[in-house]
Amino acid sequence: MKQGKLIIFSAPSGSGKTTLVHHLLQQPELNLAFSVSVASREKRPNEVDGKDYYFISPEEFQQKIIEEAFVEWEEVYKNNYYGTLKSEVKRLLNEGKNVIFDIDVKGGLNIKKQYPDNSLAIFVQPPSITELKHRLETRQTETPEKIKMRIDKADEEMQYAKDFDVIIINDDLEKAKEEAYHTVKSFLEKHS
Protein backbone atom coordinates (compact mmCIF):
# COMPACT_ATOMS: atom_id res chain seq x y z
CA MET A 1 0.00 0.00 0.00
CA LYS A 2 1.36 3.42 -0.87
CA GLN A 3 2.26 5.73 1.98
CA GLY A 4 -0.16 8.60 2.59
CA LYS A 5 0.99 12.20 2.46
CA LEU A 6 0.70 14.96 5.05
CA ILE A 7 -0.86 18.30 4.08
CA ILE A 8 -0.20 21.01 6.67
CA PHE A 9 -2.23 24.23 6.77
CA SER A 10 -0.96 26.90 9.15
CA ALA A 11 -1.86 30.55 9.54
CA PRO A 12 -2.56 33.27 12.05
CA SER A 13 -6.00 32.90 13.61
CA GLY A 14 -8.66 34.39 11.33
CA SER A 15 -6.75 33.92 8.06
CA GLY A 16 -9.26 31.41 6.69
CA LYS A 17 -7.21 28.21 6.99
CA THR A 18 -10.08 26.25 8.56
CA THR A 19 -12.41 27.28 5.71
CA LEU A 20 -9.82 26.11 3.16
CA VAL A 21 -9.26 22.81 4.98
CA HIS A 22 -13.03 22.13 5.11
CA HIS A 23 -13.24 22.89 1.37
CA LEU A 24 -10.45 20.40 0.57
CA LEU A 25 -11.99 17.70 2.79
CA GLN A 26 -15.07 17.84 0.53
CA GLN A 27 -13.01 16.81 -2.53
CA PRO A 28 -13.14 12.98 -2.49
CA GLU A 29 -10.44 12.56 -5.15
CA LEU A 30 -7.86 14.01 -2.72
CA ASN A 31 -8.49 11.13 -0.25
CA LEU A 32 -7.99 13.43 2.75
CA ALA A 33 -8.70 12.71 6.40
CA PHE A 34 -8.63 15.43 9.05
CA SER A 35 -6.13 15.09 11.87
CA VAL A 36 -8.09 16.08 14.96
CA SER A 37 -5.81 17.99 17.34
CA VAL A 38 -5.97 17.96 21.11
CA ALA A 39 -6.78 21.24 22.88
CA SER A 40 -6.84 22.17 26.53
CA ARG A 41 -9.03 25.25 26.07
CA GLU A 42 -12.75 25.62 26.57
CA LYS A 43 -14.92 24.28 23.76
CA ARG A 44 -16.58 27.05 21.70
CA PRO A 45 -20.38 26.81 21.27
CA ASN A 46 -20.19 25.58 17.65
CA GLU A 47 -17.44 22.99 18.24
CA VAL A 48 -17.82 19.23 18.59
CA ASP A 49 -15.51 17.17 20.81
CA GLY A 50 -13.73 14.53 18.71
CA LYS A 51 -14.54 16.34 15.45
CA ASP A 52 -13.04 19.82 15.81
CA TYR A 53 -10.67 18.93 18.67
CA TYR A 54 -10.26 16.39 21.42
CA PHE A 55 -10.86 18.63 24.44
CA ILE A 56 -8.93 17.67 27.58
CA SER A 57 -7.80 19.48 30.72
CA PRO A 58 -4.39 21.19 30.96
CA GLU A 59 -3.39 18.49 33.49
CA GLU A 60 -4.32 15.66 31.11
CA PHE A 61 -2.40 17.45 28.35
CA GLN A 62 0.71 17.75 30.52
CA GLN A 63 0.48 14.01 31.28
CA LYS A 64 0.45 13.24 27.54
CA ILE A 65 3.55 15.44 27.09
CA ILE A 66 5.33 13.32 29.72
CA GLU A 67 4.19 10.16 27.89
CA GLU A 68 5.60 11.60 24.61
CA ALA A 69 2.22 11.02 22.94
CA PHE A 70 2.51 14.04 20.60
CA VAL A 71 4.08 14.53 17.17
CA GLU A 72 4.08 18.20 18.13
CA TRP A 73 2.53 20.37 20.82
CA GLU A 74 2.65 23.94 21.99
CA GLU A 75 1.41 26.05 24.84
CA VAL A 76 -0.14 28.72 22.62
CA TYR A 77 -1.37 30.86 25.51
CA LYS A 78 -0.97 30.31 29.26
CA ASN A 79 -2.38 26.83 30.14
CA ASN A 80 -3.84 26.70 26.63
CA TYR A 81 -2.20 23.77 24.88
CA TYR A 82 -2.66 22.36 21.39
CA GLY A 83 -1.08 19.20 20.05
CA THR A 84 -1.17 16.42 17.49
CA LEU A 85 -1.26 12.85 18.75
CA LYS A 86 1.17 10.38 17.15
CA SER A 87 -1.59 7.76 17.38
CA GLU A 88 -3.99 9.95 15.34
CA VAL A 89 -1.52 10.47 12.48
CA LYS A 90 -0.56 6.78 12.45
CA ARG A 91 -4.22 5.67 12.47
CA LEU A 92 -5.10 7.84 9.44
CA LEU A 93 -1.99 6.83 7.47
CA ASN A 94 -2.76 3.17 8.23
CA GLU A 95 -6.23 3.72 6.75
CA GLY A 96 -4.47 4.72 3.50
CA LYS A 97 -5.50 8.37 3.80
CA ASN A 98 -3.64 11.59 3.11
CA VAL A 99 -3.69 13.48 6.41
CA ILE A 100 -4.62 17.16 6.48
CA PHE A 101 -3.73 19.41 9.43
CA ASP A 102 -5.25 22.73 10.51
CA ILE A 103 -2.56 23.78 12.93
CA ASP A 104 -0.66 26.72 14.40
CA VAL A 105 2.49 27.92 12.67
CA LYS A 106 5.12 26.40 14.96
CA GLY A 107 3.25 23.09 15.09
CA GLY A 108 3.06 23.02 11.31
CA LEU A 109 6.79 23.55 10.96
CA ASN A 110 7.47 20.83 13.58
CA ILE A 111 5.43 18.29 11.61
CA LYS A 112 7.21 19.34 8.39
CA LYS A 113 10.55 18.79 10.13
CA GLN A 114 9.55 15.26 11.22
CA TYR A 115 8.10 14.23 7.83
CA PRO A 116 10.22 16.25 5.38
CA ASP A 117 9.82 13.93 2.40
CA ASN A 118 6.09 13.33 2.35
CA SER A 119 4.58 16.55 3.65
CA LEU A 120 3.49 19.83 2.11
CA ALA A 121 3.38 22.87 4.39
CA ILE A 122 1.04 25.66 3.30
CA PHE A 123 0.92 29.06 4.99
CA VAL A 124 -2.37 30.94 4.61
CA GLN A 125 -1.71 34.65 4.82
CA PRO A 126 -4.34 37.32 5.43
CA PRO A 127 -4.22 40.29 3.02
CA SER A 128 -3.21 42.51 5.96
CA ILE A 129 -3.19 42.68 9.76
CA THR A 130 -5.98 45.28 9.54
CA GLU A 131 -8.17 42.86 7.59
CA LEU A 132 -7.29 40.08 10.03
CA LYS A 133 -8.42 42.23 12.97
CA HIS A 134 -11.68 42.99 11.14
CA ARG A 135 -12.30 39.25 10.53
CA LEU A 136 -11.66 38.37 14.18
CA GLU A 137 -14.03 41.13 15.36
CA THR A 138 -16.71 40.00 12.88
CA ARG A 139 -16.56 36.42 14.24
CA GLN A 140 -17.77 37.74 17.61
CA THR A 141 -16.35 34.71 19.43
CA GLU A 142 -13.76 36.51 21.53
CA THR A 143 -13.20 39.46 23.87
CA PRO A 144 -11.29 42.54 22.68
CA GLU A 145 -8.36 41.41 24.90
CA LYS A 146 -8.28 37.99 23.21
CA ILE A 147 -8.43 39.64 19.77
CA LYS A 148 -5.49 41.90 20.67
CA MET A 149 -3.56 38.83 21.85
CA ARG A 150 -4.29 37.06 18.54
CA ILE A 151 -3.24 40.11 16.49
CA ASP A 152 0.05 40.39 18.40
CA LYS A 153 0.64 36.68 17.82
CA ALA A 154 -0.25 37.03 14.11
CA ASP A 155 2.48 39.66 13.71
CA GLU A 156 4.97 37.14 15.09
CA GLU A 157 3.59 34.22 13.04
CA MET A 158 3.83 36.14 9.76
CA GLN A 159 7.64 36.04 10.19
CA TYR A 160 7.53 32.25 9.65
CA ALA A 161 5.69 32.35 6.30
CA LYS A 162 8.98 32.09 4.39
CA ASP A 163 9.70 28.70 6.05
CA PHE A 164 6.65 27.07 4.43
CA ASP A 165 6.60 25.33 1.03
CA VAL A 166 3.76 27.49 -0.29
CA ILE A 167 2.10 30.77 0.74
CA ILE A 168 -1.53 31.36 -0.21
CA ILE A 169 -2.74 34.93 0.30
CA ASN A 170 -6.41 34.76 1.22
CA ASP A 171 -7.78 38.07 -0.04
CA ASP A 172 -10.41 36.40 -2.25
CA LEU A 173 -11.85 33.22 -0.72
CA GLU A 174 -12.90 31.55 -3.98
CA LYS A 175 -9.48 32.20 -5.50
CA ALA A 176 -7.78 30.90 -2.35
CA LYS A 177 -9.92 27.71 -2.41
CA GLU A 178 -8.95 27.10 -6.03
CA GLU A 179 -5.26 27.74 -5.35
CA ALA A 180 -5.30 25.44 -2.31
CA TYR A 181 -7.00 22.69 -4.32
CA HIS A 182 -4.55 22.84 -7.24
CA THR A 183 -1.52 23.08 -4.94
CA VAL A 184 -2.56 20.01 -2.93
CA LYS A 185 -3.67 18.01 -5.98
CA SER A 186 -0.40 18.54 -7.84
CA PHE A 187 1.63 17.67 -4.71
CA LEU A 188 -0.30 14.42 -4.25
CA GLU A 189 0.04 13.48 -7.93
CA LYS A 190 3.73 14.35 -8.09
CA HIS A 191 4.58 12.35 -4.99
CA SER A 192 2.49 9.21 -5.49
Whether residue 2 is predicted with pLDDT greater than 70 in this model: the reply is no
Number of domains in the chain: 1
The CATH code of the domain that includes 61 is 3.40.50.300
Average pLDDT of the segment spanning 63-81 = 91
Residue 1 lies in a domain: no
pLDDT confidence band for 27 (50 / 70 / 90):
very high
For residues 30 and 82, what is the distance between their CA atoms, to the nearest angstrom? 26
Residue 151 lies in a domain: yes
pTM: 0.86
Burial label, 42 (beta-carbon count in 10 A; 0-12, 13-18, 19+): exposed
Residue 22 lies in a domain: yes
Whether residue 51 is predicted with pLDDT greater than 50 in this model: the reply is yes
Average pLDDT of the segment spanning 3-15 = 91
Residue 63 belongs to domain spanning:
6-190
CA nearest neighbour of 21 among 32, 13, 12:
32
Q: What integer best gives the mean pLDDT of the chain?
A: 91
Res 1: pLDDT? 45
What is the per-residue pLDDT across 177-191, written as a single tens digit (0 to 9) for each? Answer: 999 999 999 999 986
Residue 102 lies in a domain: yes
Res 123: pLDDT? 97
Residue 186 lies in a domain: yes
Residue 55 lies in a domain: yes
Tell me what percent of the residues of the chain surpass a pLDDT of 90: 67
Residue 92 lies in a domain: yes
Burial label, 15 (beta-carbon count in 10 A; 0-12, 13-18, 19+): buried
What is the per-residue pLDDT across 99-157, written as a single tens digit (0 to 9) for each? Answer: 999 988 988 999 999 999 899 999 999 888 888 888 888 887 778 888 888 888 888 89
